[in-house]
Structure 1
Amino acid sequence: MQHRYLEVDVFSTGPFTGNPVAVIADADELSEDQMRAIAHWTNLSETTFLIAPTTDEADYRVRIFTPSTEFPFAGHPTLGTARAWLELGGRPRTAGQVVQECGAGLVQVRLCDQELSFATPPRTRTGELDEEDVERLVEALGLRREDVLAHAWGVNGPAWQLFQLRDADLVRFVRPGRLWEGAHIGLVGLETGEGENLLEVRGLTEHFEDPVTGSLNGAFAQWLRERGLVPAHYVAHQGSQVRRAGRVRIEDDGCQIWVGGSAEVRVRGELVS
């Protein structure tokens, strides 16, 4: 069986500077076991599978897999899948907007010039972390307790644990030690100088550092906006410590928080299953 196959560079500022996602089209006949095997084989942070929607409200349905698990929602796979669907000839029911169906429900994706943005879904878990979690992070990253200014759950698919550190320089300085099983750690720090980027963001897991992370930036935007620490429009930078240069644009329009950036197709081909 042959499937159209694309790899999309998401949140990039130039070729190969963002976060790649593999998109497998025509995937309705693939079993869940086959999807898991393919995602394990591509070995990217996420691989998505385009299938027919189950509701007339959606333009397409997607399943999102890491090499080891399935997510109900993830950010850069959402933008990458929307770009791939359009590239493959998809026509939105509503001009300028794609509606994606995924495990978290319906997600709106806006089309604006060459950039895409998704409406951040509501967090399913919020509130401060246990102090034990904070102490475990401080030990793993070689920090002092006073380096952590605030912390919270930001679960919106991945189970992000959010930590605001003293400033952006400290976020860049951190050299992660071995994290615990299932860890999804988000670090954020405010920049102290002038420039386009307001925040430095890093997304750490047990096995790797995610180059640029839409779901994490969405959770951070919700959390930081609630606390009045960021304006309605800002830019976050991510990926500097893994040789990437990702840029994430945040817009709070008063109804939704939109997470946006570029999404460029870098690979076109066929996958044989």
Structure 2
Amino acid sequence: MRRSFRQVDVFTATAYLGNPLAVVVDGDGLTDEEMQRFAGWTNLSETAFLLPPTDAGADYRVRIFTPTAELPFAGHPTLGSCHVWLETGGVPRDPAMIVQECGSGLVRIRRDESGPAFAAPPLLRSGPVEEALLQELVDGLGIKRDDIADAAWADNGPGWVAVLLRDADAVLALRPKSVPVDTGVAGFYPEGSPFAYEVRAFSPYGGIVEDPVTGSLNASLAQWFLGAGRVTAPYVASQGTVLGRAGRVRISADDTDVWVGGSVVTCVTGTVEL
């Protein structure tokens, strides 16, 4: 049957400079196999399917697939799915706070004139990185051990290890050969820059892959840097520069939450036969 379809660009106000997401608006009735097959066919980092909620506290439900597996949560699919749900007629019970149901539970999303922002999920693992793993990262990233200013587990689902280099230029200069785990690398810009730091995200699956703009990683980096007093919110992080993108991730914080936001632009509207 024909189903409503959108392809959106997330973490950018300018189409084709962010991170693309495919969204099937009416995914009800599709099997796991059909969803996975379509996600493999789109060949985007993630494809999302909107569904009626099963939790009474949620406004809608989303299932998120990479080309090879389902994810319980991911950042740019959360913002992109929320944008599409609203654009296609979704009406939240609370206009100020949308509640998304996904594999990891309920995610709160607030919206303002700048676009949606999700509450960063709690870290599943934090703390120091084992020295043996750091040495693997040094070798794979093509850097020296003393190039790493700090490192920490920043796992909020995808299993991120976060690495802080001396500055943003060092991050932009990276030409990695491999990484043993999902790895986020950041470096701060000089004071007075419009961006607090530059981010790059590398995955080891199917050879080394760099993600254009990564919501989950930016969430855990913000929790790490804010908790360590390295930065104060609100601020904007930059990602995707080396890939010719202009990802802009807005970070804010209140007494209880770190909020990860960004603009979303609809690039493709139509139907898909599924």
TM-score norm. by structure 1 comes to 0.97
Identity of aligned residues (%): 48
* 1:136 matched to 2:136: yes
Query: What do residues 159-203 of structure 1 show as CA deviations (whole Å, max 9, x unaligned)?
Result: 1111111111100000011334xx311001111252210110011
CA contact (8 A) 1:13 1:245 kept: no
Partner in structure 2 of residue 118 of structure 1: 118
The answer for the alignment partner of 1:224 in structure 2 is 225
Instruction: Output the amino acid matched with 1:46.
Output: E
Amino acid at match of 2:179: L
Count residues with an aligned counterpart. 271
Q: Does 1:90 align with 2:122?
A: no
Give the TM-score taking structure 2 as reference length: 0.96
The C-alpha deviation readout for 1:225-266, integer Å capped at 9, x for no partner, is 111001021110000011100100100112110001101111
User: Given the superposition, is the C-alpha separation of residues 223 and 103 from structure 1 closer, same or farther in structure 2, using an over 3 Å criterion?
Assistant: same
1:176 aligned residue: 176
Structure-to-structure mapping, 1:1-273, within 5 angstroms: 1-180=1-180, 183-206=181-204, 207-273=208-274
How far apart, in 1, do the equivalents of 2:103 and 2:129 lie?
25
How far apart in 2 are the matches of 1:7 and 1:109? 20
- Once the two structures are TM-superposed, the CA of residue 2 in structure 1 deviates from its matched residue by 1.6
Q: Is the 8 A contact 1:46 1:64 kept in 2?
A: yes
What amino acid maps onto 1:65 in structure 2? Answer: F
Cα distance, 1:96 vs structure 2:
2.3
Q: Hey, what's the Cα distance between the residues in 2 that align with 1:260 and 1:104? A: 19
1:201-227 Cα shifts (integer Å, max 9, x gaps): 011112421001110000000011111
Displacement after TM superposition at 1:141 (Å): 1.2
Q: Give, as a single letter, the amino acid of the residue that structure 1 aligns with 2:22.
A: A
Contact 1:232/1:253 (CA < 8 Å) preserved in 2? no
Give the conservation status (yes or no) of the 8 Å contact 2:23–2:50: yes
Which stretches in structure 2 are left out of the alignment for 5+ residues?
none
1:98-142 Cα distance to aligned partner (Å, 9 max, x none): 110011111111110141100001011111111111100110111
Alignment RMSD: 1.1
User: Distance between the aligned counterparts of 1:239 and 1:94, measured in 2?
Assistant: 34
Distance 1:162 1:44 in 2: 24
- Is the Cα–Cα contact under 8 Å of residues 14 and 265 in structure 2 kept in the other structure? no
Structure 2 CA distance for aligned equivalents of residues 31 and 154 of structure 1: 33
Supply the distance in 2 between the matched residues of 1:7 and 1:226 (Cα, whole angstroms). Answer: 35
For 1:205, the aligned partner's letter is S
